[in-house]
Amino acid sequence: MGNVLELQGMSMSFGGLKAVDNLSFSVRENEILSIIGPNGSGKTTTFNVISGLYEPDSGDILLQGESVAGLRPDQVHERGISRTFQSLRLFGNMTVLDNVLVGMHTRTKAGVVAAMLRLPSVRREEAAAKAKAQEVLAMFPGRFSGPRQSDPAFSLSYANRRRLEIARALASEPALLLLDEPVAGMNPMESREVMEQIKELRSRGYTILMIEHDMKVVEGVSDRVIAMDHGVKIAEGSYQEVATNHLVVEAYLGKRGAGTAS
């Protein structure tokens, strides 16, 4: 299997602060790679650079072999990277179905004039988009069935709003899905359910790069794990290899705490 994403010596600074320093890693096709690290380690900045919110100071970002470094977020999305955010960004007053349809806008072809005239080609495309959106929602069994698709997003439970954001990200059929703390704020049972759904996405062929603080989820879904601290990659490997790495233990517990723990 080839690499879907490659970061090559990527760096990003804010003023005098180097948020990410010479970061390199790859995400292989149909794997789940998780990034862990304490607060301020550069995880979210890495996601923001990959998705086009920031332009890197140096280095390159390759998606399926082509550079996306410095592209606008909409251009990155069109190339095949879709993401969720740590803080929910749904359209609360729009229906569940319409939120997913919004995620498909880069895959529709109808022009403004054709849409205004309601040409047959537009109606066919709308019907196909609706069917695809319903197919995506069906990936979350029992959560968005039937009449629930007409409910406004704000009426959903917190966990289902999280699921809906993942569904919207999937709607564009991305080559790479970025999940930013997908179980944040969930109780243990909800976290386990979402963990199983993420594993199901991999079985469907999706490639996933994930930031997550819940180590049970990281252990449960990850093929590989990268640990960051102060913008630098300090470990990479299986969950067990990374979780027992002395630099990772020090990053989370501090040198004194790490010494005690060992």
- pTM score, two decimals? 0.88
- Check residues 43 and 120 and name the one with the higher pLDDT: 43
Tell the CATH topology of 1-80+174-262. Rossmann fold (3.40.50)
pLDDT at 123: 73
- If DSSP states are collapsed to H, E and C, what string results for 110-152? CCHHHHHHCCHHHHHHHHHHHHHHHHHHCCCCCCCCHHHHHCE
Mean pLDDT of 65-93: 92
Q: How confident is the model at residue 129 (pLDDT cuts 50, 70, 90)?
A: confident
Phi/psi of residue 130, nearest 5 degrees:
-65, -40
Least confident of 57-66, 78-87, 219-228: 78-87
Q: CA angle 90-33-12, nearest 5°? A: 75
Q: From residue 255, how far is each of 127, 236, 247, 250 by CA, in Å?
A: 59, 20, 9, 5
Q: How confident is the model at residue 69 (pLDDT cuts 50, 70, 90)?
A: very high
Distance CA 87, CA 186 (A): 13
Place of tokens 């109606």: 123
Decide if pLDDT at 148 tops 70. yes
**What is the identity of the amino acid at 248?**
V
Token digits of residue 83: 């993401």
Please report, for the chain, the start and end positions of each structural domain, with discontinuous segments joined by +. 1-80+174-262, 92-173
Decide if pLDDT at 178 tops 80. yes
- Check residues 253 and 212 and name the one with the higher pLDDT: 212
Mean pLDDT of 29-51: 96
Token digits of residue 95: 């229906």
Q: From residue 71, how far is each of 29, 61, 81 by CA, in Å?
A: 22, 10, 12
Distance CA 36, CA 123 (A): 45
pLDDT at 261: 36
* Alpha carbon of residue 101 to chain centroid: 18
Instruction: Evaluate whether 121 touches 114 at the Cβ level (below 8 Å).
Output: yes
pLDDT at 106: 58
pLDDT at 68: 97
Report strand pairing: 81-83 vs 66-67.
unpaired
Instruction: Evaluate whether 236 touches 225 at the Cβ level (below 8 Å).
Output: yes
Q: How confident is the model at residue 122 (pLDDT cuts 50, 70, 90)?
A: low
pLDDT at 253: 76
Decide if pLDDT at 192 tops 80. yes
Distance CA 70, CA 178 (A): 18
Q: Any idea what DSSP says for residue 173?
A: -
